[in-house]
Amino acid sequence: MKRKIHPADGGDAVPSLDDAVVYLDLETTGAAAGVDRITEIGWVEHRGGREIDRGAQLVNPQQPIPPIIQTLTGIDDAMVATAPPFAEVAPALRARLAGKLLVAHNVRFDHGFLRQEFARLGVDLQVAVLCTVRLSRRLYPHERRHNLDSVISRHGLRVDGPRHRALADAVVLADFVAAARAELGDAVVVEAARKLVTVPPAARPADGLGLDALPDTPGVYLFLGARGEALYVGKSVNLRSRVFAHFAPGTKVAKDLRLAQQVADVRWFETVGELGALLLEAKLVRQHAPIMNRLLRDGDDLATWFWDATAGVAPQLQSAAQLDVAAVDHLYGLFPTRTQALRALRGLADAHGLCLKRTGLEPAGRGPCFAHQLHRCRGACVGAEPAVAHDLRLAQALHGLRLATWPFRGRVGLVERDPLRDRTAIHVVDRWCWLGTVERAEDLDAPDGPLARDDAMPAFDVDTWKLLSRWLKHHRHEIEVIDLPRAPADAPV
Ligand SMILES: [Zn+2]
């Protein structure tokens, strides 16, 4: 099976081991191409089966190298501190790879990393690849192990320099292929390789989407389809690298590739910080209900228990999607299904000797509840336990499930700052509802500002509740909180 590579990157035939070949090895800060970065590139270049160049390049990963990786590779933070970042070595590397066959041990890893690094620069790397793990397996099917150490010892290869450094490992790959050719014959090895060469599918060209204007700032982006329908809403602390990553199919983002193929338009909104991006993302997801976000959601309709301890009424099972903001202080637990919510309350009733009638788990009516007949319920159903005492125990039982209550006295402004860009955002929030964001305090009172609205509070939104309560738990100390007045219409009575 022959597949074409993009003519722009050199030639339309799939290269073979006898053409231009780059044996390559990367060292990185870790195993995740989306997060980790390259620290060293080693290569051995062949043409017509002969070496024409070899070398290694340290790369500044612009993030710390975990100690365990430093120990493994011998590359530490100090060594890469003065090395150029990937952006600076990218043009030469791209030229080195263009139209060649990229050979690596577990090439999905190296290719995935290269593709991510290039994608961060807005470049789609297109190159034919060959995996020496698969080649070794194909040529030596009776052998069980094909990791690099096994290959080295099986073929008696010499390792110049420390293992797990990029150049030493790249040399080993070239030597392995040479050893196999000597042992099995050129024709056998070249033919076996030919069957294993693949050209990973092209990324959707981001041309025409105007992505060059994407900023390196936090924000939210929206992918639209050909009919203007919302496909996906995402957020990032770096809009540019995140959006470009969608258009670079690595090994783990096949879903991204399918998504990217459908994108006809991209909109984005800069925010001052992460909190602003989270709030806007939740709002846009709610507004547009994009297809991909709906597929990714972990259960749309969560169930929760509403119970007002002072009302003398049993807990009520409610959908978290349709809650009134006034209910927020009386909610217990978020459950993926109603059955799980019921099971949780029943478990508490069991453990605490509560009454099944008083908790609403059995229909009200005369006579003892089922639990009382088993001597578990202490008898609120038959007047043996005062209702107040029972409800006090119910409150204790439910306490652990209580959703975070609004931690401020009233309406507040959560002030997020970016000193580098000299920008400020004041997010106006009241009882987990986001009312709006302004950049300057004087805009709070503007006619269309977040404090001016005299209509009712927006509906309680479980996603905003989740993101705000989680965010405040971890980042409360990073922001300033200012107290703001409530509009008269929804001031507490
Ligand atoms: Zn009872």
- CA 412/CA 431 separation, integer angstroms: 9
Ligand 1 midpoint to CA 355 (Å): 4
DSSP reduced 3-state for 428: strand
Ligand 1 midpoint to CA 397 (Å): 16
Task: Write down the pLDDT at residue 455.
Answer: 57
Ligand 1 midpoint to CA 306 (Å): 20
- CA 8/CA 20 separation, integer angstroms: 16
Q: Write the DSSP assignment of 213-269 as a string of letters.
A: G--SS-EEEEEE-TTS-EEEEEEES-HHHHHHHHTS--SS-HHHHHHHHH--EEEEE
More confident residue, 166 or 492: 166
Task: Write down the pLDDT at residue 245.
Answer: 80
Ligand 1 midpoint to CA 403 (Å): 27
Residue type, 405: T
The residue assigned the tokens 């005492």 is: 389
Ligand 1 midpoint to CA 307 (Å): 18
Ligand 1 midpoint to CA 32 (Å): 55
Tokens matching residue 197: 């060469």
Ligand 1 midpoint to CA 390 (Å): 10
Ligand 1 midpoint to CA 399 (Å): 21
More confident residue, 263 or 192: 192
Ligand 1 midpoint to CA 383 (Å): 9
Ligand 1 midpoint to CA 339 (Å): 21
Ligand 1 midpoint to CA 320 (Å): 28
Ligand 1 midpoint to CA 79 (Å): 71
pLDDT tens digits for 352-399?
999 999 999 999 888 999 999 999 999 999 999 999 999 999 999 999
Which domains does the chain carry?
7-196 (3.30.420.10), 211-296 (3.40.1440.10), 303-401 (no CATH), 412-490 (no CATH)
Across residues 96-111, what is the average pLDDT? 92
**Alpha-helical runs (H) found in 400-488:** 462-475
Q: In sequence order, what are the residues at sequence separation of 6 or more whose Cβ sits closer than 8 angstroms to the Cβ of residue 60?
A: 80, 81, 82, 83, 84, 85, 86
The residue assigned the tokens 């909180």 is: 481
Ligand 1 midpoint to CA 430 (Å): 39
* Most confident region among 109-113, 152-156, 403-407 by mean pLDDT: 152-156
Task: Write down the pLDDT at residue 334.
Answer: 84
Ligand 1 midpoint to CA 311 (Å): 19
Ligand 1 midpoint to CA 158 (Å): 80
pLDDT tens digits for 326-336?
777 788 988 88
Ligand 1 midpoint to CA 369 (Å): 4
Ligand 1 midpoint to CA 136 (Å): 71
Residue 270 CB: number of other CB atoms within 10 A?
16
Ligand 1 midpoint to CA 302 (Å): 28
- CA 103/CA 84 separation, integer angstroms: 24
Ligand 1 midpoint to CA 346 (Å): 12
Residue 175 CB: number of other CB atoms within 10 A?
20
- CA angle (250 as vertex; 247, 254 as ends), nearest 5: 75
Ligand 1 midpoint to CA 385 (Å): 9
pLDDT tens digits for 20-52?
999 999 999 988 776 789 999 999 999 988 999
**pTM beyond 0.85:** no
3-state helix, strand, coil in the chain (%, to 5): 40, 20, 40
CB 325 within 8 A of CB 460: yes
Ligand 1 midpoint to CA 57 (Å): 75
Residues near ion ligand 1 (Cβ under 5 Å): 355, 369, 372, 377, 381
The residue assigned the tokens 């290039």 is: 118
- CA 446/CA 438 separation, integer angstroms: 10
Helix axes 132-139, 166-184, angle to 10 degrees: 20
The residue assigned the tokens 């805009």 is: 443
Could you list the beta-strand ranges (E) of 279-330.
303-306, 316-319
